[in-house]
Amino acid sequence: MNADGHGETIDATARSLSVLNVLIDTPEPVGVTEIASQTAMTKSTVHKHVSTLANLGYVTKVGRQYEPSIRFLDCARRVQWDTDLVDTAREPVDELAAMANEVAGFVVEQNGVAVDVYCADQYASGTFPAYNTRHLHCSAAGKAILAALPNDRLESELPALTPHTITDGEELQSELDRIRERGFSLDRQEQFAAVNSVAVSVETDSLTGAVYVSGRADELSGKRFEENIPGLLLSASRLLTDALE
């Protein structure tokens, strides 16, 4: 068994999923060379995996590059969030976004990653980057979740998404201790360049999540960033926790 209690990993499956993760996380089609550089595989190994995935219908070839196929729409329909969970989160998150006049959302931890349940965007342009990360260490919401989990749940790899991302394990542990002490998490351009966020954990017997507010770093700053928004989030966290229990 692995340290997290799961069975032994099948290497070939893990490599195929690593390839898929690169394709899913990249907005444009990706070539074999780029996939190899991001997965630490040889180009010949990557070629075998993308060819297999294409033959199975999970990857589409675009010229000499690859992208996820439309089959993932069917996969998504099979794993949609429980409607009750989304409905429970919608009203408090909408109210939070309106009061903060920023993007607000609710995420939960699932298999070591943060997954969006519901997001309310107050930016009329709709161009604000959506919350989307497979790691917990690089966002306010993810760090709030990590602070609520046992220390042995820390990720072994801490990749940098921006120059401000915490990539040192000891530094991250110190950050989590500060979050536990003050009750909320701050993200200073650690996930997206020029974007700050604040989050508070939401904990019940059945889930560990976080409610967050994100905004442009030049606007979400100072007292508003460190005091006013955290106060709104603490109230929203209590409302969500009560509603989910």
pTM: 0.69
The correct answer on CATH 3.30.70.20 for the domain covering 81-244 is: no
Q: How confident is the model at residue 215 (pLDDT cuts 50, 70, 90)?
A: very high
The correct answer on CATH 1.10.10.10 for the domain covering 11-75 is: yes
* All structural domains of the chain with their residue ranges: 11-75, 81-244
Model pLDDT for residues 20-65, shown as the tens digit of each residue: 999 998 989 999 999 999 999 999 999 999 999 999 989 999 999 9
The residue ranges of DSSP E strands in the chain, in sequence order, are: 30-31, 59-62, 65-68, 103-110, 113-120, 185-188, 195-203, 208-216
Inter-helix orientation angle 229-244/83-100, to 10°: 160
pLDDT at position 66 is: 95
pLDDT at 138 over 70: yes
pLDDT at position 175 is: 97
pLDDT at position 13 is: 93
pLDDT at position 84 is: 80
